[in-house]
Amino acid sequence: MDDLDREILSILRRDARTPYTEIADRVGTSEGTVRNRVERLVEDGVIERFTVATRTGNVKAMIEVSVDVNVDTAEVSDRIADWQQVDFVWQVSGEEDIVVVVDAADTDAVNGLITQARELEEVVGTKTRLILNERVG
Amino acid sequence: MDDLDREILSILRRDARTPYTEIADRVGTSEGTVRNRVERLVEDGVIERFTVATRTGNVKAMIEVSVDVNVDTAEVSDRIADWQQVDFVWQVSGEEDIVVVVDAADTDAVNGLITQARELEEVVGTKTRLILNERVG
DNA sequence: TTGAGGATTACGAAATTCGAAACTCGTCTT
DNA sequence: AAGACGAGTTTCGAATTTCGTAATCCTCAA
């Protein structure tokens, strides 16, 4: 992981469809080198996957979920991850145990998801933040 | 957003480098249609961007940042987004104002980022959660 | 100096993307 | 009912990108 790798990653984070040829021009090397590097980054697990960031709805939100003690947090996370409109589920340290990032049609839909979470046996509380704006690093 | 769009999206979420030709075969249509659809999805903002999910370090964390009143939160977010190791910066509603998702080499590096945040004039406090596990919806 | 191993570059072939024209199919108008 | 129209789809050749592989370059150690 040298600076060249980091430059390539930063280009791919912003647009993963940038051709190797263009990346090569921008970082001052050859297409083959960019290709080798990207292959190695995937191989090493630095690049977990090529994907698309979507916004199918109009509202994104973080729902911080507290679960009861003696609950299998991983199992609850799995169930939540299956819900439509859920982008990510993180198990986290701190006051709450699970953070759910959702992409919903509107605030009503967010509310529905919160309700759905609170209705789970294992869940003892939720705290929600609307995501007003997103930047990529 | 019909079922065909959703099928295409679900393929791209798993591997955004899947060629149009292959997507077309898998969903039973032509390359041109897949191309038109993807272009429209990007146009409409359903696909925000093509990107790579990375894990350059061993620790991911969320740093919740509170800024002073009368501070331009967007501007602070911009500055933070430029830091190495930062994946996302969200402006959020709720107790804190900004959530920073970072991907760091180790807990020391996370600590460094927290310090860096707290050293900003505008920042009045931070609260950090380690991300122990991530699932995709 | 020489050789080995790894990274980089070069280059032709294969695959993919792209632009644009042709086509399909339902709907509206007369 | 015929014709016109528009949105979406398909087709196809050209341009671009990716891919496989062989040659070259570098650096370090003996």
Q: Give me chain A's average pLDDT, please.
A: 95
- Domains plus CATH for chain A? 1-42 (1.10.10.10), 57-128 (3.30.70.920)
CB B100 within 8 A of CB B117: yes
- Distance (Å, whole) CA A117 – CA A137: 30
Residue of A45, A83, A94 with shortest CB distance to B137: A83
Write out the H or E segment, with its range, that includes residue A104.
strand A98-104
Asked if A47 lies within 8 A of B48 by C-beta distance, the reply is: no
**pLDDT reported for residue B12:** 96
**pLDDT by 10s per residue, chain B, length 137:** 899 999 999 899 999 999 999 999 999 999 999 999 999 999 999 999 999 999 988 899 999 999 999 999 999 999 999 998 899 999 999 999 999 999 998 999 999 999 999 999 999 999 999 999 998 87
At B57, list the tokens. Answer: 């370090």
Coil, strand or helix: which one is B35? helix
CB B95 within 8 A of CB A64: no
Q: Check whether A96 has a pLDDT greater than 80.
A: yes
Q: How far is B94 from chain A (nearest CA, A)?
A: 5
Q: Residue B98 CA to nucleotide C16 C1', Å?
A: 41
Q: Check whether A69 has a pLDDT greater than 80.
A: yes
